[in-house]
Structure 1
């Protein structure tokens, strides 16, 4: 048999060392084989080796003897003419080792060290060969799912089957699972699995569907449930939903900013309308969120990350798709074109496809998958096959009160890119009704804050920045003045006078405990800005308020005889000064009938006509009694 050998040498970097590798090509009448090996240039043999794979064992620190050694290329090195997978080589020098060329097998092997025994080479996947940072590349499987995802609410993971039951077939359940790190959007990723939307259509009591959200918020953030399908409430979200329940527009019922509303309170948060129910009884579509001021039930506007369905992307799902079975579901993203593509396989085997370009402003995105039920219900599940992605290096940022309750949402800035050795920055927000107190020392959330600005050291989550705020407290007091007008028997002789109430709000600074008082006769409650000052023109800073003097009404035939006004003015209830500690004022003015002249005729006072008595006065002679 005719046989020829040629040897080419290349330099590859392994860790901090450069290693010489040869490409040995042997041409035999039967064909050609090729391999990439690590060796020096002193001795090369071309003995063929069978293709049976041999497991690798760790290499010792001692120099390798002259026994033939086959090696797999290092992950950082270029791939040779025959694609092979990489194993890590120790940094000990290799002495005059001869290398035998071995055919390549196709079975992948894990990263391992190499000893002097011959080992088979393995093929590098196309995905891995494109990695810029192999330590950030992540392959999630059913076996390691719980190392990378956190389940929330009703969601439960079954490892043997790789299935997350997001909601059981029960009413009023909210569940989700979230990726613990953000996805590097400069790299491609693929999430492959299946979804089970349940077995009930809306007409048969089924709801609500499953939402997939990529967003700029924290990896721990949860979207609002119900009609929002876990997407509404997330910052700058680009989501996709398989919606099995039609919702009309819902006005927010809660009069507060969205960040302070529980993710389970869908009625409080409100939601946008879905596409036509007749055209799309159940459907798949993209959903995005934007920062909006939404009018609530009380007529005022409040901040919301409002979710809006992209009706142009809506595609109807068949009733038959709600068959209680798993349907193939794949989310694929191309990092070069920044195209997000979603495929859903229907019961009849047809594949529905959605595509969307992700703007390049999205550098790293969190992922959460959510489902919920209400008065209607369904068993809703996701079954994982695999998820391959590259972790970005990021931090979370939270804004909480002194009890750890979230009061606002914010974003992290990455001046360079969200990658190892990059930097991050956050900012202190002005939050209406609150004053910044400190960075969390652990007393608010249980974990101390990392620096608000810094350097990213690891792929994945690098920690959480926590800003702690205290609420301005406000004490409200309304003072009323009422004046009663009655007669001496307590009967009303004129309608009561009720003055316009005077309202006081006393605001306490949470840092130095100083107070300021504000007065209004047109508003009874106050909304404070971030400096603790009531908003609007209704409130004026003052310590006192005054009720004007009130003239007593004139009542025919009556006059005032008394009043409980301390000034004791019988013509007027005098001006009254009150403050935030005053109680309601109540005065009583008493009236009595006026005096009228008598109707009897007065006497003429003429001399009496009576005749003087005829009786003779006694002589008053002295007594005849003898002493």
Structure 2
């Protein structure tokens, strides 16, 4: 008499199993399905029966139910592939970080001890297949101080399983990529603009002030879903920076200060992989169960999970106690973008063209990161594209980058001119081997290293270290031009030298720096005075007395010689001589020829 199907869903905190019963009756074509949760069972059964509706009744078509029945065997089989986490194998599937510690006997994770300025979290080592349902049941303890801080955050995100969100007002959710988070917030936070101008991926998880946080949507304590989105956020100094910015979403609900009573309270996360509905429930100290529901977009195929808490100037003992966690491991890889020291510098997403399944493929991309240049894949890294060989974490693709070092060079010259007083060159100018300064700048931190060389001007850099690759470079911020002896120029004397710290013998060592201008010095030579000498000339007078046949008639007369002088000026450079006038004329005295008996001189007197 009926073609409608009634489905009833009930929830009990003591149960994580699903039972479905289907029976048939010859008198009826109606089908009623009931789903309940019971801790005593994890098997899936199909049976048609009639049940009373406790909460909501949903009508679905008969064809839809038949399709569900056809897949019931597959669903039952898939149960065997679920990963079951309890307190006994917790550390096989989760990693503890920061202040977090684990007690295997009780199944309690102490995320933060009751101390100030603590940051702790635990993260799932593999991603969750978001096409499959999962359930996490346990209890949370928010501490015993109603005025304590900060609370506990739960997040599912698209990043690496090793990614950590930012602490403080972000409760470990801000900073995670495309996160769908939930928080039990115990501290009122106003808007905090980032104090750091670095991109979010470079901010340490503990540096909440550097990262910044959004304003709470209501007064603490309260619970709400939190999503992150990739935003440009204005810093305290007015610059814009990238952040995966966490913002409250959905319907925040107030908790009571009485919930911060030092006791554990039931906490459950249920996800329906078919409807992609995420339901979070929390049992207050009063016994009231608060429920939050959101829908996970179909684009989320595999997600990492992290649970975190932090304290600051206020504190609390914040703990999580696991009862049971059942989920389907996705076959995934992580991708990291790091500098040569291994520090994260960017975040990226892995794509899975065939889904996050064993024997499927993964694809990562080399990013263009401002101020960095890609240099290599890290040792031990997976290939950038490859196959998925097992469920869970298949490894990590690691791209290594170095700062995109920039090289700027400047050449400094030294020239020395040798001139006379009129500026005319008296010797060839001295041109020193030029000194080239090379400044290598790290654009990431703004640091710079200076080198110099008088051998090479090749400014090629090693991509990894930023050091010059050509030989001949010396790391120093200054360099010296050597001392230069002034040349000796014939006929000249050096009278001035304008080079600093120098004398008339040489141009001293000159130290130059990256900001120095070319050096240009002048050494002035003055022409030497000509050499003046005195030239002497002696004039003699001799009178010979002879007979006509030439024989000697009388002794010769030798007068006293007459001396003449003149000055000679010799040019110091050319050697050219300039002659002065001789001294005044002089006369020899008159000489009477001697008397020789019988002879008469042809000249009675020489005048």
Indicate the TM-score class for this superposition, using the shorter chain for normalisation: 0.5 to 0.7
1:330 and 2:275 matched: no
Return the offset for 1:145.
0.4
The equivalent residue for 1:259 is 201
- One of 383, 393, 399 as aligned partner of 1:461: 393
Evaluate the alpha carbon distance shift between residue 209 and residue 509 of structure 1 in structure 2; reply closer, same or farther with a 3 A threshold: closer
In the alignment, is the contact (CA less than 8 A) between 2:111 and 2:120 conserved in 1?
yes
Q: Which residue of 2 aligns with 1:346?
A: 284
- Pick closer, same or farther for the CA change 1:135–1:403 going to 2, 3 Å: farther
* Aligned equivalent of 1:238: 180
SS of corresponding position for 1:130: helix
Partners of 1:474 and 1:127 in 2: CA distance:
63
**Contact 2:406–2:443 (8 Å) recurs in 1:** no
Residue 324 of structure 1: SS of its match in structure 2?
coil
The alignment's TM-score, normalised by the length of structure 2, stands at: 0.57
Deviation at 1:379, TM superposition (A): 0.4
- What corresponds to 2:243 in structure 1? 304
- The equivalent of 1:145 in structure 2 is 90
* Distance apart, 1:298 and its partner CA: 2.4
Aligned positions of 1:505-520 closer than 5 A: 506-507=440-441
Secondary structure of the equivalent of 2:268?
strand
Alignment of 1:77-476 (within 5 A): 130=75, 133=78, 136-202=81-147, 206-276=148-218, 280-310=219-249, 312-441=250-379, 448-474=380-406
TM-score (norm 1): 0.55
CA 1:580 to 1:341, structure 2 compared with 1: closer, same or farther past 3 Å? farther
Q: Is the 8 A contact 1:477 1:580 kept in 2?
A: no
Deviation of the 1:473 alpha carbon: 3.1
Q: Deviation per CA, 1:436-479, whole angstroms, max 9, x where unpaired?
A: 001111xxxxxx1011111111110011000011112357999x
CA contact (8 A) 1:240 1:284 kept: yes
1:581 aligned onto 2:514 = yes
Change (3 A) 1:462 1:348: same
1:284 and 1:79 map into 2 onto residues whose CA distance is: 35
Matched residue pairs, number? 376
Q: Measured at CA, do residues 477 and 238 of structure 1 come closer, stay the same or move farther in structure 2, by a change above 3 Å? A: farther
Tell me if structure 2 keeps the 8 A contact 1:286–1:309: yes
Question: Relative to structure 1, is the Cα distance of residues 509 and 346 closer, same or farther in structure 2, using a 3 angstrom cutoff?
Answer: closer
Unmatched 5+ residue regions in structure 2?
1-42, 49-70, 411-437, 452-465, 467-497, 501-511, 520-607
Moved over 2 A (4+): 78-82, 126-129, 131-136, 472-478, 504-510, 583-586
C-alpha deviation, 1:128, in angstroms = 9.4
C-alpha deviations, 1:334-377, integer Å up to 9, x for none?
11111000110001100000000000000001000000000000
Cα separation, 1, equivalents of 2:364 and 2:375: 16
Alignment of 1:555-566 (within 5 A): none
Conserved? CA contact 1:506–1:580, under 8 Å: no
Instruction: Give 3-state SS (helix, strand or coil) of 2:96's partner.
Output: strand
Quick one: distance in 2 between partners of 1:415 and 1:395?
Answer: 13
Output the CA distance in 2 between the equivalents of 1:395 and 1:201.
Answer: 41
Q: Map residues 570-609 of structure 1 onto 2, 5 A cutoff.
A: 581-583=514-516
1:110 aligned residue: none
C-alpha separation between the residues in 2 aligned to 1:351 and 1:291? 33
Contact 2:96 2:123 in 1 (8 A): yes
Structure 1 contact 135–459 (Cα < 8 Å) conserved: no
What is the CA–CA distance in structure 2 between the aligned matches of 1:422 and 1:436, rounded to whole Å? 27
CA contact (8 A) 1:412 1:426 kept: yes
Distance 1:474 1:136 in 2: 53
Q: Deviations over 1:10-35 (max 9, x none)?
A: xxxxxxxxxxxxxxxxxxxxxxxxxx
1:356-402: per-residue Cα shift (whole Å, max 9, x none)? Answer: 00000000010000000000000000000000111110000000111
Q: Is the Cα–Cα contact under 8 Å of residues 508 and 516 in structure 1 kept in the other structure? A: no
Q: 1:136 touches 1:459 (CA, 8 Å); kept in 2? A: no
Q: Indicate conservation of the 8 Å contact 2:194/2:213, yes or no.
A: yes
